[in-house]
Amino acid sequence: MLTIKTIGQVLKEKRTSLGLDLSEAEQLTQVQKLYIVALETDDYKALPGDFYIKAYLKQYAEKLGLNADRIIQAYDEGKGITVEDKEDILENYHFVKPSERVEPEEEVPKTWRHYVPIISLSAAALLIVVGVFAAVIMNKPETPDLITNDYSYSKSEVSTSKSSTSSTKPSESSTQASSSKPEPTIAISGSSSVMIATISNISDPIKVDFSVAAGRTIWVGMTNSNVPATGQTLSDGANSLSALVTTGAENSVITLGSVQGLTITVNGKALDLSSLTTTGPNKITLQINRTTSNSAAQ
């Protein structure tokens, strides 16, 4: 028998048929447990945007052995999924012993006491539903800001650095011939899902290379660069991306769907991503302190 079910019902039935609880499904699919619950209850408002909804649907469906393209199509069309649901004839069959059969005219009138257990159970079920709904509303995660230009920097610090470089120019001019250009340095701060990488002694062009390990799919967004505003998804088909920071830009914000299996280098120097420990969206702010033209000539 063909029936129409929601995407969440199809995902949940497949997971339970595989004998997986939520924690096991999280380990298998690399999708956070709270997002799995949202997908299986069709609560897409609890997920961080349309891109992540499709990405998590595809990743979850493929790991469960479902047709991911069919799932995504159903989501885009806002429709359910037609599946074959075998009817169990035993559920519709009830044998009544002859001794238990009651003719219509012999039925005993039901008093109010007959409905007391039903009313009690209904009230208890209603209280449980209300409690679960309240818990979901109170613990609903905030939608993360996938791409943001809300970054800050201190022009005064850059101006001070440039002034200091200019003031020392006469004293350093005698050693220019023998000195060499300083190597870029990267200082890392932050933790969890937010990291700041302060890059010093670097000059344009600044090239940021992204590389994704086999079997991983990661979305990358980057401000003040030649990366499209909609970002780019890296996977087995296209597992690398080279981006150039806009000339003269003093910072750039990198937004990542995940960091597992991802490698990032800036002008050949690798970024240490170990402080980013969440599996969800991550943000890296590149603070760029360029060398002056005089320093570059050295």
Q: Is the pLDDT of residue 2 over 60?
A: yes
pLDDT digits (tens, 9 = 90+) for 258-268: 888 889 999 89
Separation of alpha carbons 235 and 17, rounded Å: 29
Q: What angle do CA 292, 296, 225 make, to 5 degrees?
A: 70
What's the one-letter identity of residue 1? M
pLDDT digits (tens, 9 = 90+) for 249-259: 999 999 888 88
Q: What is the pTM of this model?
A: 0.40
Q: Can you spell out the DSSP letters for 103-142? A: -GGGPPPP-GGGGHHHHHHHHHHHHHHHHHHHHHHHTPPP
Orientation of helix 50-64 relative to helix 68-77, angle to 10°: 150
Closest CA to 143 of 26, 53, 222, 61: 53
Please give the average per-residue pLDDT across 34-44, as a whole number. 86
Among 63-77, 147-161, 207-221, name the most confident range: 207-221
| Widest Cα–Cα separation across the chain | 118
- Selected residue with higher pLDDT from 24 and 147: 24
Q: What are phi and psi of 144, to 5 degrees?
A: -70, 150
Separation of alpha carbons 64 and 12, rounded Å: 10
| Long-range contacts of 80-85, Cβ-Cβ distance < 8 Å, separation of 24 or more | 80/4, 80/5, 80/6, 80/7, 81/4, 81/5, 81/6, 81/7, 81/10, 82/2, 82/3, 82/4, 83/2, 83/3, 83/4, 83/5, 83/10, 84/1, 84/2, 84/3, 85/1, 85/2, 85/3, 85/5
Strands (E), the chain: 2-5, 81-84, 185-191, 194-202, 207-212, 218-222, 232-234, 240-244, 251-256, 262-266, 269-270, 282-290
pLDDT digits (tens, 9 = 90+) for 148-167: 444 444 444 444 445 444 44
CB neighbours of residue 222 within 10 Å: 25
Joined tokens for residue 163: 């002034």
What's the one-letter identity of residue 100? E
**pLDDT the model gives residue 78:** 79
Orientation of helix 33-40 relative to helix 50-64, angle to 10°: 90
Q: What are phi and psi of 216, to 5 degrees?
A: -105, 150
